[in-house]
Structure 1
Amino acid sequence: MQTLAPLRPVPAAEVDPTDVGQLVREDRVHARVYTDPAIFDMEMERIFERAWIFMAHESQIPNAGDFLTSRIGRHPVIVVRDGKRQVHVLYNRCPHRGAILCREAEGNVHHFACPYHGWSFRTNGDITGIPFRSAYPESFLKDENLSMAHVARVENYRGFIFASVAEQGPSLVEFIGPLKDGLDNLLDRSPTGEIDVSAGVHQYAYKGNWKMQMENGLDEYHPPFSHASTVKPDGQQVQRSYGAKGGFKVLTGSDPNQENARSHYDHGEVHGARHGQAYLTIPDATRRSELDDPEYRRLLVERHGQEKALALIESSNMSNAVFYPSVIMRVTGNMHIRVVRPISVGLTEVLVWPIQIKGVADGINQGIVRYANVHVSVSSFVQTDDLEIFERVYEGLQAGKPDWVMLARGMGQDWDGPYPDEKVGLATWETGMRAQFRYWKEQMTEDRR
């Protein structure tokens, strides 16, 4: 990918820079929402410090002392299982002089020790050691603020751990809305009711804004064009999931510019609900091809009974579940968890873990990992195209004109869904992105004084 020169913020043009609400209209958003460092600073406070942010799946920290390091916006945190097997999310900072306690991405510890002055802490965050403590007054040593600080709220939904630094707000289930159905379906499709996220991680960064990846997780308009090198003349894309008989169909006709041309993706839908939560549905059953494995089906029938197992398979139609603002989960087909971490206004880190299914044949799980490599690794046939596009978009937005980025596809044609404030459209429409920006605008302009 091309190395970009240092970039400047796009000028405010006719938009009042003091009124962030003017940057979002019904059918478009101003380029500054992707390029202005001051707006990025506000997002870290008003979006990431109020939302539920995905931390880990419990299979990543199965044992006492297991930990992962992560971030909530700009806050470095540690997700750790203590000696009593309780999960904590702790600020990754020594209370003494402020040093980061743990640099490792993951591991197992008996305690955390500060490299600066040697203060040490139990895996539940409690202070356990202060070197040369006799120099401190006894009253100081009784200060409760000497232990590591806990993130305000932590919730675990069927193994998926989320945290919020906000003291108050909606519960996790309220916040994720319709995406709970996707998690339930994913877990109910396991013969054991469990999944495993310990197969390893792909980690990379791109020079662009974090929202570009979150929006792209709902964008079925782009595949025939961004991923043109993977699409054959008959409209079939390369094989992208275990058990598929061939490639995924992406074009119904050969020429998308014909007047009545229709994307094959529009056999599916895009849903956008409250709090920016949104998801895609699959356009055809080839996207859940692993469920055609006879042994897999037998195990599901054994667990649920014939009628419920078949109904479960038939209802497995959620594809990308986009948990705003921090994670995209592919819950059908080439299943994975894709965490999006903002580093700066023009730099974003992405981490991808394949999701494996407990209780199925090894070949299925090996296939899931193999097709995660094909789809979402840094050397894949697909995600590399997206990363190039994100960088091109960010570079293109440095142009002073035009001022706006368009979100009008399908506007006025979408319909109400079953969840509160939910809108539904065809999969190539920008319905889900508009839901994201409704929440963005609400949080960025709300006065909580």
Structure 2
Amino acid sequence: MSVIHRRKVGGRNLLFTHSSDGVIRAFYNSCPHRGALVCREGKGNAKVFRCFYHAWSFNNQGELVGLPDKEGFLEDHNCDGSKNMMAVKRLESYRGFIFVNFDDNAISLEDYLGNAKEYLDLVADQTEVGMEVLQDSQEYSVRANWKLLCENSFDLYHGVPTHKTYFDIVATRGGIMEKGSLVGEAHDLGNGHAVMEYYAPWPRPIGKWIEGYGEEAKEIIEKINARLVERFGEERAHRISKKNRNILIFPNLVINDIMAIAIRTFYPIEPGYIEVSAYALAPKNETENFKQVRNDSYLEFLGPGGFATPDDNEALELCQEGFANNKEVEWNDISKGMNRAIPQATDEAQMRAFWREWNVRIMDAEAKKIDAGRVKV
């Protein structure tokens, strides 16, 4: 029996399976017979995947195991395995985060993540038993260019003016904006990855209790903090539990470790329209009551109907409309913090890191086009 999840990654329909042998696999979700999706459900459990169109069946290793009217095919049909489901060649993981790569010649995941691994570790180290996604993903769309969402995802400068209502509500529950709130640093992590790490007035299920969480949650959080100190010492435990971080893994993976842990991926459908998938992440061993506290905290701010996401989407769509004036009006100033030796979390160094990598990729792509043209000539 396999646990299955269907995902779209980079425009490809993929089927992920986690089998009883402990192996995680990824297949292109296309029947090798006539191309139909083999699996239509978003998630579930199955021993065999049966194509709806002609009933070809495949086991959880992608092997063709069922073929109606087999006598109608040649005796050596599928002897070379060409009619099995095609597996994704590059499937790699880091601390439980699963990545696929469609480029056979790309560098390893470890090398690609580089300095970003330090911040993924801060997320993964919040539990000894592993993380899980809470319920289903949230799916929504934004009428804006996808790179605007990259910028927005680690833009602390807009936090207070754009999301003032949320900060006001948090204050009524004990999350008061103090002198050190929204103070921190921004870091270019290489390869286009970047992060901002900072303190904030909102609660954190991993380590910052406020009255709105209730007394039961207070005791749980105190135990979590004590265990973190036991495992990592005071300094690292404090960093894991008290600091917030918004991480961008270039080009379009966002991990927000703030009042809850959110994972977002997003893909451009056209230059001014993107589709977003968002997931809430949590330790596997949390009680149902505390898991509800965490999920409420996630949905209140990060959910598609929360206090932040609709505001952000509105801001991005306003930017997209405003960019229609770009022939006459200079736009997208991301110079904030260039006058500081150490960029602050409310600066824009993290955005510059993204755009520098984007510029390199564009220049490389243009150079390849030129080289290809020269070869043709």
TM-score, scaled to structure 2: 0.84
| Structure 1 position 220, deviation (Å) | 1.2
Matched, 1:426 2:340: no
Kept in 2: contact 1:73–1:342 (CA 8 A): no
For 1:75 and 1:137, the matched residues in 2 are separated by 31
For 1:285 and 1:247, the matched residues in 2 are separated by 6
Corresponding residue SS for 2:5:
strand
Q: Report % sequence identity.
A: 25
- Equivalent in the alignment of 1:277: 193
1:406 to 332, 347, 351: 332
| Structure 1 position 383, deviation (Å) | 0.7
Corresponding residue SS for 1:200:
strand
What are the superposed Cα offsets for residues 209-243 of structure 1, whole Å, 9 maximum, x if unpaired? 22221211111121233324x16xxxx54329xx9
- Equivalent in the alignment of 1:313: 237
For 2:106 and 2:287, the matched residues in 1 are separated by 41
For 1:264 and 1:285, the matched residues in 2 are separated by 6
How many residues matched? 356
Kept in 1: contact 2:337–2:344 (CA 8 A): no
- Equivalent in the alignment of 1:144: 81
Kept in 1: contact 2:176–2:201 (CA 8 A): no
Kept in 1: contact 2:206–2:225 (CA 8 A): no
For 1:427 and 1:153, the matched residues in 2 are separated by 34
Which amino acid in structure 2 is aligned with residue 82 of structure 1? S
For 1:284 and 1:376, the matched residues in 2 are separated by 15
| Structure 1 position 95, deviation (Å) | 1.4
1:222 to 140, 158, 165: 158
Matched, 1:176 2:113: yes
For 2:329 and 2:67, the matched residues in 1 are separated by 56
What are the superposed Cα offsets for residues 219-274 of structure 1, whole Å, 9 maximum, x if unpaired? 1121233324x16xxxx54329xx9722556xx7xxxxxxxxxx963x21221222
TM-aligned CA distance change 1:284 to 1:437, over 3 Å: same
For 1:248 and 1:328, the matched residues in 2 are separated by 25
TM-aligned CA distance change 1:224 to 1:302, over 3 Å: closer
Corresponding residue SS for 2:264:
strand
- Equivalent in the alignment of 1:439: 357
2:70 to 119, 133, 158: 133
Kept in 1: contact 2:2–2:46 (CA 8 A): yes
Kept in 1: contact 2:334–2:351 (CA 8 A): no
RMSD over aligned CA atoms reads: 2.8
Matched, 1:121 2:46: no
Between 1:219-228 and 1:283-292, the stretch displaced more is 283-292
Corresponding residue SS for 1:426:
coil
- Equivalent in the alignment of 1:61: none
Corresponding residue SS for 1:141:
coil
| Structure 1 position 281, deviation (Å) | 0.6
TM-aligned CA distance change 1:302 to 1:320, over 3 Å: closer
For 2:200 and 2:181, the matched residues in 1 are separated by 9
- Equivalent in the alignment of 1:95: 32
Between 1:88-97 and 1:395-404, the stretch displaced more is 395-404
| Structure 1 position 70, deviation (Å) | 1.3
Pairing 1:31-70 to 2, within 5 Å after superposition: 64-70=1-7
Pairing 1:383-402 to 2, within 5 Å after superposition: 383-399=309-325, 401-402=327-328
Which amino acid in structure 2 is aligned with residue 137 of structure 1? L
Kept in 2: contact 1:111–1:123 (CA 8 A): yes
| Structure 1 position 146, deviation (Å) | 1.0
- Equivalent in the alignment of 2:15: 78
- Equivalent in the alignment of 1:239: 170
TM-aligned CA distance change 1:87 to 1:164, over 3 Å: same
Q: Which has the higher contact order (CA 8 A, sep 6+)?
A: 1
- Structure 1 residue ranges without an equivalent (≥5): 1-63, 253-262, 416-423
TM-aligned CA distance change 1:412 to 1:336, over 3 Å: closer
Matched, 1:322 2:248: yes
1:154 to 75, 78, 91: 91
Corresponding residue SS for 2:120:
helix
Kept in 1: contact 2:62–2:86 (CA 8 A): yes
Kept in 2: contact 1:125–1:149 (CA 8 A): yes
Which amino acid in structure 1 is aligned with residue 226 of structure 2? V
TM-aligned CA distance change 1:288 to 1:282, over 3 Å: farther
For 2:349 and 2:195, the matched residues in 1 are separated by 10
What are the superposed Cα offsets for residues 378-405 of structure 1, whole Å, 9 maximum, x if unpaired? 2111111111122222233234524754
For 1:193 and 1:331, the matched residues in 2 are separated by 18
| Structure 1 position 353, deviation (Å) | 1.9
For 2:329 and 2:101, the matched residues in 1 are separated by 34
TM-aligned CA distance change 1:403 to 1:177, over 3 Å: farther
- Structure 2 residue ranges without an equivalent (≥5): 209-217, 373-377
| Structure 1 position 364, deviation (Å) | 3.4
Pairing 1:193-208 to 2, within 5 Å after superposition: 193-208=129-144
Which amino acid in structure 1 is aligned with residue 267 of structure 2? R
Between 1:127-136 and 1:144-153, the stretch displaced more is 127-136
For 2:331 and 2:49, the matched residues in 1 are separated by 46
TM-aligned CA distance change 1:244 to 1:158, over 3 Å: farther
